[in-house]
Chains A and B, each alone.
Chain A
Amino acid sequence: MTATIIRNGRIIDPANDRDEIADLYLVDGKFSEQRPNEFEEIDATGLIVSPGLIDLHVHFREPGFSHKETIASGARAAAAGGFTTVVCMPNTSPVADSPSTIGWIRDRAEEVADINVLTTGAISKNLAGEELSPIGSLAQAGVVALTDDGRCIQNNELMRRAVEYARMFDLPILDHCQDYNLVGNGLVHEGYWSTLLGLPGWPGAGEEAIVARNILLAESCDHRLHCQHISSAGSVRLLREARVRGVKISGEVCPHHIALTDAAIENFDTNYKMNPPLRAQRDIDALLDGIADGTLDVLASDHAPHAKFEKEVEFDAAPFGIIGLETELGLFLDLLVHKHKTIDIARLVALFTMNPARLLGLKSGTLSLGAAADVTLINPALEWTVDAAKFESASCNTPFDGWKLKGRAVRTIVAGKTVWENAL
């Protein structure tokens, strides 16, 4: 028997409506109500005891792009950021659109990762947006959702059938919302800075048009459709209206979209190039309002590693995306809980645990008795400085290097076993 007692922490378990100072028992990898006789003890005085955090939007780049990240390095980065479960996007090479690739990723994760590495399958074959991938076989192979992330299916009829078909397997659809005609070769938010710098604009309407499409499809197909990395004020308004009516639509927010405005692109630094782009202050304000009123109920990183040489090119030639697993909890705690006071820490825990677990139909994200003992210990007051040179990730493409943040994970526990502990 292996047993651990996490003593005297503030236990926040939104799924069980629990928020109290208490001890938590972890026995043989599961939560238990029986106090064990022999145990390791962890003093959690002053810490938040949260269900293991879930990030449902990461790119671990394997197979195909292991120079950017591997499942092993990505999993270490996740653990260091406080995450016990991540969901990988399918834009690998080959694309995760077949049971064999899904099987390879799951086997690899089993072999090298200390955390739960879950996979998504592509909605369309080779992410081409033309025909459905074998969704039923992907479901049997164990994907937790379907997405063409990085791409967006433009054919509304194909998307409608995908949502309708996925419902049969109870697999949610995650969508990167981008209308290719409206966005064109857009690189940065269309507004003051794109005008000033002569960079091609990526208008908010390019996201909103697809969010509106997705709301219509979620409603008509009566199935869960989740809009990834929402960036524009108009999208928040559309989602709010639909969710009030009970449509099974949801949206997630990434830390960079509330931490930075498009003014950051002034020096053409490619670590500020992401898709969707950094937008204006009014968009940030709308995202914060959306988080506060529950319109946006999932937080995620869109952890997108790229090698240094790939980002050290002209702005338009650089790939979109930044890494986020090792900074996102700190940024969200710092910005949402401390700085803007958008939500309290209990809500923040829900946005990282219960809500993504419910969307994906996972058993994790709670401290329920008998559930796998995935726990994240959070010190919400710990002040620290981001140091990209010390990241576990194989890449260091972050705009947050050197940022001083308040709050971070200090220990990550998966199935009762500590997989990462803050050395500080």
Chain B
Amino acid sequence: MNTDWSRKDLLGLRELSAEEINFVLETADAFKQVGTREVKKVPALQGKTLINLFIEPSTRTRTSFELAAKRLSADIVNITASASSLTKGETLKDTAKVLEANHADIIVLRHGSAGAPQFLSTHVRASVINAGDGAHEHPTQGLLDLYTIREKKSRIAGLHVAIVGDILFSRVARSNIFALLKLGARVTLVGPSTLVPRAFEQLGVAVTHDLEKVLPEVDVVNLLRIQHERQRKEYFPGLGEYIRLFGLTKERARLLKPDCLIMHPGPINRGVEIDSELADGAQSVILDQVTNGLAVRMAVLYLCSGANGS
């Protein structure tokens, strides 16, 4: 394998080049194959210590990173906010210094504050992998979404991708936008004007509030979770109206091209952003995203740890 990767950290997709993104995806191809074997383990990170530092709750991303690290034979420790000294008033910097004093090689950080991984990376020598920071970026989610699209469509360039829902507060949306544009896709954001403000047009994407007009044109529709359980009351009147305007119902799904992919980063609100049957239907690649997430995260850990020799 060649060594077109010189990064110690993966903080976001905005700073990656198209070549770097493609290189991660190609590396993930090799690791995806590992998952199909009887023995799903390789020694690539043997002797390395990985810390899953999850200051914000997460099940699927944490599990995916944990499995990825185990399949690479790394030693792994999970730390959640409630179990960390952060609850005792320790700063993130001090927590990270303690982890480093325990010879951590890789810190996978999930944090509610945008920029927390950048901050951490300036204070530790260990690799820092962003597992989601506030509304900023979720680079491995973006990479696994691209991997899935590339796997199903054989390309990214020239495709038209709609991202639907709460864009303003979505790190998944931002990572997808940055990476899709770099690889030559067209991106249209769809949702209520409060959650998809016009300012996003400055990022090089289209913004619309008419889902039905967009659906026939797109090759991929990526539905984001609508957070109705907290703090969005000023942003839209209620779930009923949201579903009426932006829910992917069965009727609306008929507008899709037959080969249009339906994606969702999870967890799904069945019957809200997506009809329950559609989530399990032929066009849905939601579980492929999960499987591919493992391969992509193995690739990221492998590359950032320097195990590829760069």
Contacts and interface: CB of A to CB of B under 8 A. Distances in A.
Nearest to A199: B114
A268 B114 contact: yes
A199 B136 contact: yes
Contacts of B199: 190-192, 194-195
Interface stretch (A51-59, A219-227, A313-321, A336-344): A313-321
Contacts of A190: 199
Contacts of A315: 113-116, 119
B203 A314 contact: no
B62 interface: no
B8 interface: no
Contacts of A197: 114-115, 136
B92 A198 contact: no
A261 to B, nearest CB: 14
Nearest to A181: B234
B118 A317 contact: no
Given A192-B199, A192-B202, A268-B114, A198 B91 contact: no
Contacts of A316: 113-114, 134
A198 B113 contact: no
Q: DSSP class of B's interface residues: helix, strand, loop or mixed?
A: mixed
A195 B114 contact: no
A37 B281 CA distance: 100
A332 B51 CA distance: 47
B242 interface: no
Given A313-B91, A316-B113, A196 B203 contact: yes
A312 B93 contact: yes
Contacts of A200: 135
Given A197-B136, A198-B136, A268-B119, A317 B202 contact: no
A106 to B, nearest CB: 35
A22 B301 CA distance: 72
Interface in B188-211: 197, 199-200, 202-203
20 contacts: A191-B199, A192-B199, A195-B203, A197-B136, A198-B136, A199-B114, A199-B136, A200-B135, A268-B119, A309-B91, A312-B91, A312-B123, A314-B115, A314-B119, A315-B113, A315-B115, A315-B116, A315-B119, A316-B114, A317-B113
Interface of A: 190-192, 194-200, 267-268, 309, 312-317
Given A194-B199, A267-B118, A314-B115, 7 more contacts: A195-B202, A196-B174, A196-B203, A198-B135, A268-B119, A313-B93, A315-B114
**9 pairs of A and B residues whose beta carbons are closest in the complex:** A268-B115, A198-B135, A314-B113, A198-B136, A195-B199, A315-B115, A316-B113, A314-B116, A198-B114
